[in-house]
Chains A and B, each alone.
Chain A
Amino acid sequence: MSGGEKLLDIRDFRLAFDGYEGAAQVLNGIDLSVNEGEAVGIVGETGCGKSVLARSILRLNPSPPARVVSGSIRFDGRDVFEMDRGALRALRGAGVGMVFQDPVTYLNPVFTIGAQLADVLRAHGLRKSGDIRKRSLELLAAVQLRDGAALLRRYPHELSGGMRQRVLIAQALAGNPRLLLADEPTTALDVTIQGQVLALIADLVARFNLTLLLISHDLGVIGAICRRVVVMYAGTIVEDAPAEALFAAPRHPYTRGLLAAVPDLEHPERIPKGIPGSIPSMRSPPEGCRFHPRCAQAMPVCREQAPLLLGVAHLTACHAVGE
């Protein structure tokens, strides 16, 4: 990891969801630290825990059923789970700005864009309507939406999906956050719009010196704007490496399987291969390495002992790697 202060520090974080049929161990010992100024991508398939992890950073998982089993999440040195109401409010928006997947559901259909931006700005302490208007226009300009004044009077249904996502990004920036947390920000958008929104995020990160944590199931999206990639599987981090290294020389068998499964337009002769089996139940995950039942390289030790996330710069949690 390169210089800079540790902005986000997650240590041995374990989270369970309690249910009638027992507790599901959705995050199982997450170790992740992100330095100020880094652009980190978290990639993994459905149910791997990437969104739950993102929401944990802002303490957004409703509790119950969510229960912190052990470990800590520190933002700028302070433990998120020990914050009082006031500190938590400051964390949400002013510390960390979050952008969600579906721009349709996160805007209220019965209020104008102006009213919804004003709400957020008031929550961040702006009072005078003149200030609110000025700042709203600044934010809309920052997300490259033209004709901001007219836009403030519009309703969500009058905007395209890409425009709505830009409005949500503007809201996330309203509190001048240090960390931008984007959970599948382009998944609901068309491919041509996806490129524009990713370019916008990359531009904002550079312009406002933001630290970026981007969550996606799409390796192409991650590769487009992240310098470091974290791969998750079944509630654990299996690999954490600089983007070039991860794509060029993936080490964990799951990462390799994931890359081999993606169809590549530039190499149509390469037939994508699926990973046999399916993701384990989080209520009774496999002992040892959670990937071992689907792993071609599984050894006896994989069944007994969970591998540690080891390495320098390129970290891997696998018994078969780096012995």
Chain B
Amino acid sequence: MTPILATENVVCSFGTARAVDEVSLDLWPGETLGLVGESGSGKTTMLRLLLRLAQANAGHVRFDGRDITHAPESALRDLRRAVQVVFQNPHAALDPRASVFASVAEPLRLQGGLTRAMLRARVTSLLEDVGLGEEFLWRYPHEMSGGQKQRVCIARALAPGPRALLLDEPTSALDVSVQAQIIELLAALRARHGLAYLFVSHNLAVVRLLCTRVAVMRGGVIVEQGEAASVLAAPRHSYTQALLASVLPPRATLAAQSPSAKAVTA
């Protein structure tokens, strides 16, 4: 078996800053990999490198074992179909002037070969897949809640029939009661379609729920990587420990201890 996506000692610099510094990471078919870390740790740049939205300065990016580090865009059609992305802010990720149908149908249109009736049937079934009824077909983004918009973004990502979804903080902009619904949906979709997830998040509790493997990033480097259950239960790296120590459980912890003397210095 080869990983769907892989990087080998990949480097990405902006000016003198090394946003990603010799990182090697694999995403295997069907697995759920969590990528955690704070802002500026390089998580999003990693995601952009894997999608070839950012260009590596050194190292290699592979898709199905094939080196795509410098492949021309015309050679990336398979990648674009097989790997889709869901962004953090559903309010910004949808065109405000496009109906749900138009947004979800666009990737299908690009692939071509579908009549309008087929398109409509396919979009309806994609919406059903993410828990939205047919009545949403002609809605516009301003007529929907944040959770509904994120479902539309997920439906759009599923449209080309991908093997992997790269999820960039997909629940961070949502309220907790809605976040729980989206987590449930993502777990169900993964089981149904055998998708691989690269789940980028700063929320360790959500990562623990969805991911079997986890990689912890800091300063452009992966400081710890392993089974989610063991890394999050018994972290070895001091940064992972600090990150875990700063998670505030939904409880009255005031009496117990003050929130974070253990926190890392900036």
B242 touches A192 (CB 8 A): yes
Q: Which has the most chain A C-beta neighbours within 10 Å: B181, B232, B249?
A: B249
Which of these, B39, B177, B232, B266, contacts A257 with CB under 8 Å? B177
Closest to B182 in A: A274
B253 at the interface (CB under 8 A from A): yes
Q: Please report the C-alpha to C-alpha distance between residue A195 and residue B258 in the assembled complex, in whole angstroms.
A: 9
A45 touches B176 (CB 8 A): yes
Residues 195-234 of chain A, each 1 if its beta carbon lies under 8 Å from chain B, else 0: 1101100100000000000000111110111110000000
B243 touches A268 (CB 8 A): no
A220 touches B248 (CB 8 A): yes
Taking the nearest CB of chain A, how far is it from the CB of B215, in angstroms?
Answer: 17
B75 at the interface (CB under 8 A from A): no
Which of these, A161, A194, A268, contacts B246 with CB under 8 Å? A194
Interface residues on A, range: 35 or more
Q: Is chain A's interface secondary structure helix, strand, loop, or mixed overall?
A: helix
Which of these, A45, A193, A227, A278, contacts B266 with CB under 8 Å? A193
Residues of chain B lying within 8 A (CB to CB) of residue A259: 250
Known: A190-B38, A272-B209, A273-B180. A196 touches B252 (CB 8 A): no
Of the listed stretches B24-32, B48-56, B121-129, B197-205, chain A binds: B197-205
Which of these, A190, A246, A263, contacts B202 with CB under 8 Å? A190
Q: Which has the most chain A C-beta neighbours within 10 Å: B146, B179, B253, B260?
A: B260
Interface residues on B, range: 35 or more
Q: Please report the C-alpha to C-alpha distance between residue A243 and residue B250 in the assembled complex, in whole angstroms.
A: 11
Known: A221-B248, A261-B177. A192 touches B209 (CB 8 A): no
Taking the nearest CB of chain B, how far is it from the CB of A296, in angstroms?
Answer: 13
Residues of chain A lying within 8 A (CB to CB) of residue B244: 265
A108 at the interface (CB under 8 A from B): no
Closest to A270 in B: B209
B209 touches A224 (CB 8 A): no
B176 touches A217 (CB 8 A): yes
B263 at the interface (CB under 8 A from A): yes
A119 at the interface (CB under 8 A from B): no
A264 at the interface (CB under 8 A from B): yes
A40 at the interface (CB under 8 A from B): no
B208 at the interface (CB under 8 A from A): yes
A243 touches B205 (CB 8 A): no
B108 at the interface (CB under 8 A from A): no
20 contacts between A and B (CB under 8 A): A45-B176, A190-B38, A190-B39, A192-B264, A194-B248, A195-B245, A196-B263, A218-B248, A223-B248, A223-B252, A224-B254, A261-B177, A263-B179, A263-B203, A263-B209, A264-B249, A265-B247, A272-B180, A273-B184, A278-B148
- List residues of B whose CB falls within 8 A of some A CB: 38-39, 145-148, 175-181, 183-184, 202-206, 208-209, 229, 232, 242-255, 258-264, 266
Known: A161-B39, A221-B248, A272-B183. 8 other contacts (CB 8 A): A162-B266, A190-B202, A192-B246, A195-B248, A224-B254, A243-B254, A262-B205, A278-B145
